[in-house]
Structure formats: C-alpha cells, structure tokens
C-alpha cells in the first residue's frame, strides 16, 4: 500500500450532482476537519453546469458537519471548479492544465491524482477513456473511484469490466460500496478473529442461524423512477448485504493485507449454493393501515402495473466445512416500521439436563443507527429467585465512547483508504463476477414470475416473514422475556 504524500490532486466528476454534494465533498471536509486530508492538496470539481466559485462553494458546503467557520473556509480554499463536457477532450485538457500547474508550483516529482466518478454508471466508460487519454500520467500514482451499481447483471458487469480493464490496472480501480466503510462492518474482522470467545464457536457446530437485515422506514416518495428499474435486491442485497455476509462467513486471512482479505471473500463466495427462487419471500408495500401513507403504486413515477420488489427475504446456503447446513437469511425492505441495519447470529441451544427451558444465546451487531454489539445470555434473576432471565452483555458505542471520539462516516473512512492505497474495503473484479453469477439467475427467475405479497406501509413486512424465519432456523424469543437493557425486577418473579 502506497499512501499519497501532501501535494496531490482530487478530482470529483459530477461535482454539481447530489451524490457529490451530499456524500463526496462532505466526506472530504470531514477528513480535512480531522486532519486526515493534506492542507496542501487541491480538490477540483468537474461538471457541465455553469457554476462560479461562490455558487460552487455554496453547493458543496450545504451538508458539511462540524468544524468552525475558519475550518470550512480553509477547506473551501482548496476547492476549485472546472466546467467541461464528459464526451469531448476540451474540458479534460483544461483539467490536466490545472493539475500540471499545481504540480509545477509545488515541485511534485511524481504526480498523485485521484479521480472520483460521482456519476451514473452509463458515463463510467466514457469518462475513464478521457481520463486515460487526457489526464493520465504514466509516471504518476493514479487512483480511480467508481460508485455502484457495477452493472445490473452478470453480462453488464462483465461489459463494464472489459471496458475499464484496458484503461487502468486493478490496483488503480477502487469500486466503492459504502457499507464496507461503516464502523461496525469494518469491526467484523477484529470481532471474529481477535476474540477466541467468538472465533472458536463461529462454525456449524455452534451457530444455528445467521440473519443480515436492512430496514428503511420510508418508501420511494415520488422518486420511484430509478428504483422501479432495479428493486430492493439489486439496490442493497446483491452488494451491501452480500458484502456483510462474506465478511461474516469467510475464513481467517493470513494477514490484514488487502489482497489476503479479498482472497478469502472470493473463496467463500464460490462456496455459496445457487439461490432458490422458490425459497424466497418477496413483497411490495401497500398503503398504510390508516391510509396516511401511499402504496408503492401510488408513486406517480412508477408504472401502475409495476411488479417491482420492495421487500425480499432470501435464503443462502454455504457448502464448505465451516458452514454446511447453517441456514442464513438476507432480508431488506422499504416502507417498514423502523430504519435499522443489523446482524443476528443465533447459537444452538445448550443441552437441557438441569434446565427445563433455556433460551438461546444470540449475538446482535447493530450497524446503524446507534452502533452496538450485544450478546444475549442466560443469567439468574437477581435476588432470591432461582429462575433464569435472558439479558445481555452490551457494548453500545454512544455509551462506551465519548462524544469527542471521532468515528468516521462510511465515505470518510473509504476515501481515507483510497488516499492510503488500502484496497481491503473495496470490491475486486473477480469478487464482483462471482457475486453476479450468484444473483443473475435468481433475479431472472423472479422477474419472469414474481409472487408479490402486499404489506402495509409502516409494518414489519409481509405476514409470511415470521414463518419464513422460523423455517430457516431462527427461534423467536417470547414477548416480554427479553428486555434490552434489563433495568427492573421481573414482576412475575416468584418469591
């Protein structure tokens, strides 16, 4: 891994768009605020819009977090704007002149340039061809960041890769999936392999089931045109949730070397069984029970006969020595009762013997919001009772770490990785290929014959969810048995 020095150039293509304004520039500002970005670098926004310096600065600073006015002004002084088209050489040549001028001024011997494509995938190839032709330096250090989606099926993903491969080496390409930058996801390797308590039981002998769930409390809200073309599976499951599951199930890498980690991810992906389109729960949200929230089909940007999937729970089976026979479920949905992303690893029950009834241990990793790790354990109820209760060992980040403790946002974390040349949390070409091989036949089968179950906006999801999870090995705790945290005596305790 080779880190950039102090005099480097960051170019944001699509600088006038929402992604750049809401994610990319705020992430760069966050790094600058925390002194993780060189105060001597230059940042150039590139887009077709006619933006003067003041208007450009106003647009990119709307979503900055923290920092005083002086810090913001120092960061904005690093940011300039170049107007240009994406399909002609002229703008790219102006961009190159700006880079060369900066590098001469700072006596840079080996140019370091980072190109971030905050653009639709349809423009990736065109822009990358012009970067290679007009802005690339053979004797420099070049990094190109592209955003998901990396294709919509196996054929399109391969086509994208074939168009980029002649232009840049795999070392120069960073395919960004922001879920890999989330703090709790980055913590998985340490949690698993840095604790004998977990690494010793992280297998089919002790684990009963695994769930990775993604819940959004809102629907498309008039922005369904894009979503209607992809659905929830392409939007978050084939990428975000699958990435999390590979980190949960991969074998221990030989080191923290990025390629060692990515090798293990690819190895476990190749052991995934085909996804059965008959063993799936899919749905589309309907109006809320009180009628206050619209159905998916009420969205004017959506076709009235749309069969788009807004909820999916699917089973994954891994055929290797570690996981064979352990049921795993990925589930994701829009317009649900809450917004939450979490991982649940439920362990097998202890032998009853001395216990008439005993609950299962469960490790819960909350990715967002309110990052937390808690382990459900059985314990004697305090006091004179001899009964057991289900309680937890709790690491809630907001309680354990002070507010002054900087936990980077996902984009901040990943952009810092790019600057340091760390590929560990980015998707490799062969990993992308294997994941699309897994999902493409499944998606094609669903699109040919969708069996959608309607569920009310604001509900937990389709009515078949609980039976589906039971079928795949998850045992629910009876209501009232478990509290998080346990703070009051159980009124049912027998004296």
Residues annotated as catalytic are 240
- 10 Å Cβ neighbour count for 40? 12
Nearest CA-CA partner of 201 in 325, 347, 319, 317 = 347
Residue whose tokens read 């729970």: 313
- In whole angstroms, give the CA distance from residue 409 to residue 395: 19
DSSP class of residue 322 equals T
Nearest CA-CA partner of 434 in 69, 210, 158 = 158
Nearest CA-CA partner of 49 in 38, 40, 61, 59 = 59
- In whole angstroms, give the CA distance from residue 469 to residue 487: 29
Sequence-separated (6 or more) residues with CB below 8 Å from residue 352: 358
- In whole angstroms, give the CA distance from residue 182 to residue 191: 14
- 10 Å Cβ neighbour count for 66? 11
∠ CA 468-474-476, nearest 5°, is 100
Cβ proximity of 415 and 27 under 8 Å: yes
Nearest CA-CA partner of 332 in 235, 249, 454 = 235
Cβ proximity of 89 and 126 under 8 Å: no
Nearest CA-CA partner of 83 in 52, 46, 54 = 46
Q: Which parts of 381-466 are beta strand (E)?
A: 388-396, 453-456
What are the phi and psi torsion angles at 244 (to 5°)?
-60, -45
Sequence-separated (6 or more) residues with CB below 8 Å from residue 122: none
> What b/e string do you get for 119-151 counting C-beta neighbours within 10 Å, with b at 16 or more?
bebeebeebbbbbbebbbeeebbbbbbbbbbbb
Residue whose tokens read 């600057």: 419
């Amino acid at each position: 891994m080779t880190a950039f020095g102090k005099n480097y150039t960051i170019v944001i293509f699509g600088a006038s768009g929402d992604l750049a304004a809401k994610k990319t520039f705020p992430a760069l500002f966050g790094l600058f605020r925390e002194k993780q970005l060189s105060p001597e670098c230059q940042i150039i926004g590139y887009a077709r819009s006619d933006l003067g310096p003041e208007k450009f600065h106003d647009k990119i600073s709307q979503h900055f977090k923290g920092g005083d006015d002086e810090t913001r002004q120092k960061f904005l002084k690093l940011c300039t704007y170049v107007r240009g088209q994406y399909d002609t050489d002229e703008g790219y040549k102006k961009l190159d002149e700006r880079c060369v001028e900066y590098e001469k001024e700072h006596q840079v011997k080996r140019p370091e340039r980072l190109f971030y494509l905050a653009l639709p995938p349809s423009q990736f190839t065109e822009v990358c061809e012009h970067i290679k032709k007009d802005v690339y330096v053979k004797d420099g250090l070049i990094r190109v960041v592209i955003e998901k989606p990396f294709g919509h099926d196996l054929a399109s993903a391969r086509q994208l890769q074939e168009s980029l491969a002649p232009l840049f080496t795999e070392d120069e390409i960073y395919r960004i999936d922001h879920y890999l930058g989330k703090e709790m996801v980055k913590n998985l390797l340490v949690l698993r392999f840095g604790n004998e308590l977990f690494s010793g039981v992280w297998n089919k002998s002790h684990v009963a089931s695994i769930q990775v769930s993604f819940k959004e409390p809102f629907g498309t809200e008039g922005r369904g045109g894009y979503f209607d073309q992809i659905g929830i599976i392409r939007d978050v499951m084939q990428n975000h949730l699958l990435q999390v599951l590979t980190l949960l199930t991969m074998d221990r890498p030989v080191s923290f070397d990025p390629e060692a980690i990515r090798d293990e991810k690819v190895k476990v992906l190749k052991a995934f069984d085909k996804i059965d389109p008959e063993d799936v729960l899919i749905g589309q949200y309907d109006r809320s029970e009180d009628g206050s929230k619209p159905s998916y089909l009420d969205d004017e940007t959506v076709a009235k006969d749309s069969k788009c999937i807004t909820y999916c729970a699917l089973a994954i089976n891994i055929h290797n020595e570690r996981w064979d026979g352990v049921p795993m479920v990925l589930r994701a949905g829009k317009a649900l009762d809450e917004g939450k992303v979490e991982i649940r690893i439920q362990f097998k029950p202890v032998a009853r013997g001395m216990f008439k009834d005993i609950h299962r241990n469960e490790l819960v990793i909350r990715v967002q919001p309110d990052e937390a790790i808690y382990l459900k354990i059985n314990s004697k109820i305090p006091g004179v009772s001899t009964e057991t209760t289900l309680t937890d060992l709790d690491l809630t980040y907001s309680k354990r770490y002070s507010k002054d403790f900087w936990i980077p946002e996902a984009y901040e974390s990943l952009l810092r990785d790019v600057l340091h040349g760390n590929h560990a949390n980015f998707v490799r070409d062969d990993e992308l290929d294997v994941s699309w091989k897994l999902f493409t036949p499944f998606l094609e089968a669903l699109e040919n014959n969708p069996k959608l179950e309607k569920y009310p906006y604001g509900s937990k999801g389709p009515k078949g969810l609980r039976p589906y999870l039971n079928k795949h090995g998850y045992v629910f705790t009876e209501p009232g048995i478990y509290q998080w945290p346990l703070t009051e005596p159980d009124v049912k305790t027998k004296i």
